[in-house]
Structure formats: C-alpha cells, structure tokens
Amino acid sequence: MPVPANVSHDQNFKNLILDYPRQALEFFAPSEAQEIDDTVRITPIRQEQLKNRLGDRFHELDVPLLVEWPDGRREALLFIIEEESNPERFSIHRLGHYCLDLAELCKTDRMVPVVVFLRGGQRIRKRLELGSEHFAFLSFSYLFCILDELPVEQYRDSDNIVARLNLPNMAYPRQQVVDIFAWALRGLLLLEPDQEKRLKYMDFIDTYSALDDNERQVFSQQYPQEKQIVMIWSERMRSEGRQQGMQLGRQEGLEEGVQRGELAVLTRQLTRRFGPLDAATTVRLQQATLAELEQWAENILDAQTLEEVFGSV
C-alpha cells in the first residue's frame, strides 16, 4: 500500500504504542504477550536516559517499554519503528548495540527487540552472527512485524484496537480501501470510549488510508453514518479550539480569541496529519486571517498534502 509523503510515521506509531502498550505487544509480538496478564506492569522507559547513554546514532523515536512482573522479573521491550523498510536505514548492528546498552541500563538480561516495518523487503537483514570460522561469539535476532504482508481479512473484526487501527496498512487490493477505512473507523468507535483518543486516531486512520477524492465520495455514499461521525468529530475539534481561544483571548477581543483558537486546532490537525511543520508553514499560519484558517480547516478533511490544504481560500 502507498505510504503518504511528509508523514511522521515514527511519531504516529510511538503515540500508538504508548497509548496502547498491551494491545501493541499482543499485535506486534504475540509470542511474547502470552505471559503478560493484568498483574504485569508496563511502563515506558524515559527517552532522556537513553539519549544520554546512546547518542544520536539511534532513532530518536524508538519506544522502549519496561515490563515488570509481581515476582520481581523485569523485561525490557524495545519497539523500533522502521517505516521505510530501507536496508540502508535499518541496521541490525545498531539494533544489537542498542539492546545491549538498554539491558545494562535496565539491569536485566531479558530483552525483546521488536521491529515494525510498514513495508517489507528482501534485503532486510534479520539475523546477525559475530565470530570466527571456528566459533560464534554473538548471535542476535529480533521479532518483526511487516504490516503490508498481514492479510486484512484476518484482523477486520479484531478486538485489538492496534490491529483495527492498522487495517489500512495491511495487505488488500486498492479497490477495497473504502471498506478498510470504514472497518477501521468502526473498530475505533467500538473499542475506544475516550473522545480525545477517538479524535486522535481518526487522523491515524485517515492518514494511512490516503483516500483520494473519488474514494472519499464513494465512502460518503456507501457509509453515510461513518461519514457523519467524521464530520462531527472534526467540527467538535474546531469548536473546542475556538472555545479555548476565546478563553485565552478575552482581554484581546472576542474575534482575536476565536482566531487564536482556530490557529491552535488547525496547527494540531496539520501536525498530526503531516508531521512537524516547517518554519515557513508556521509563519503562514500565524499571519493568516480567520477566514483563511477556517477554509484551511475545511480543506484538511480531504487534502493529501500540505499544498492541497492551502490550495484554495
């Protein structure tokens, strides 16, 4: 499946894993999830500690999790998000080095590295052997999940929210994408009661489905109920942003307060959809009129790129 350009995949999947650590483990590394029940505590390891120890050689947005059992056992789970599946970017040597440092940091020999690939590739190295022609002194491998090789039919009715949200990243014919989009939205509604997280992961589903204009029209016709929900969520986000802006801007005038609210929510939407904004885009948003901000907020519902968001005012 095509991966949208200008998307911060690392950030998207880091949020997903930190919001749903148990479900992420069950989906991405099922062999390791069997022993983890409700008595087990899963907590993220502070990134600041890792950066001080490991430096800039490693991905900035790796997601290390510490798993602790009531009997005192500790296991470090390291999630690496590798969105490009590019052998030149992914290094098994770097991953092995990272795991050794992480094990020392967490004072544990129980280490489970998990790599999530959006796309597979024949050149991805999955095992490392270091030694001489007589002895192997270090043998290293890792668990991996290649999303675009998973059959979507196997997960379309899953009760695991991480699986349902990733339906658009799985294997299916492109002509089925509208159904996939709807199935993922239904899973989000069914499995996530929190309204803020629903808003957050509606963007995730939309980003990885990457519907074009024709597909969005088909979705509106075939799934009117789900389309209405999407519109309600988007309007709710904008409304809350306006209210926040009004509160912040009472002393500056009502209209300016509304504009600040619109700017705040649009900035959040754009960042979630397309990743961190560059300086030029930030300046353009800050200098925009209220009418421009409102139009861009409408455009983002169907836009696939930043250029399309700003295309018509």
Domain ranges for the chain: 9-149, 173-309
Q: What does residue 150 show for φ and ψ, rounded to 5 degrees?
A: -85, 130
Summarised one tens digit per residue, pLDDT across range 107-128 is: 888 888 888 888 877 778 889 9
Higher pLDDT, residue 266 or 62: 266
Give the pLDDT band of residue 105 (cuts 50, 70, 90). Answer: confident
Higher pLDDT, residue 296 or 245: 296
DSSP classification of residue 40: S
Q: In the prediction, which pLDDT does 253 show?
A: 53
Q: In the prediction, which pLDDT does 279 show?
A: 83
Higher pLDDT, residue 1 or 165: 165
- Among residues of the chain, what percentage have pLDDT more than 70? 79
Cα→Cα distances 201→13, 114, 166, 171, 198, Å: 11, 22, 10, 20, 5
Residue 72 has pLDDT above 90, yes or no: no
What sections of the chain are H helices per DSSP? Answer: 9-19, 21-28, 30-33, 47-54, 92-106, 152-155, 161-165, 177-191, 195-209, 213-222, 224-248, 254-274, 279-287, 290-299, 306-309
What type of residue sits at position 14? K
Average pLDDT, integer, range 146-166: 95
Are residues 140 and 125 in contact, defined by beta-carbon separation less than 8 angstroms?
A: no
How many Cβ atoms from other residues are within 10 Å of residue 196's Cβ? 10
Residue 226 has pLDDT above 90, yes or no: no
Are residues 181 and 166 in contact, defined by beta-carbon separation less than 8 angstroms?
A: no
Q: In the prediction, which pLDDT does 10 show?
A: 74
Helix axes 177-191, 195-209, angle to 10 degrees: 170
**Closest by CA position to 58, among listed 82, 42, 75:** 82
Higher pLDDT, residue 46 or 24: 24
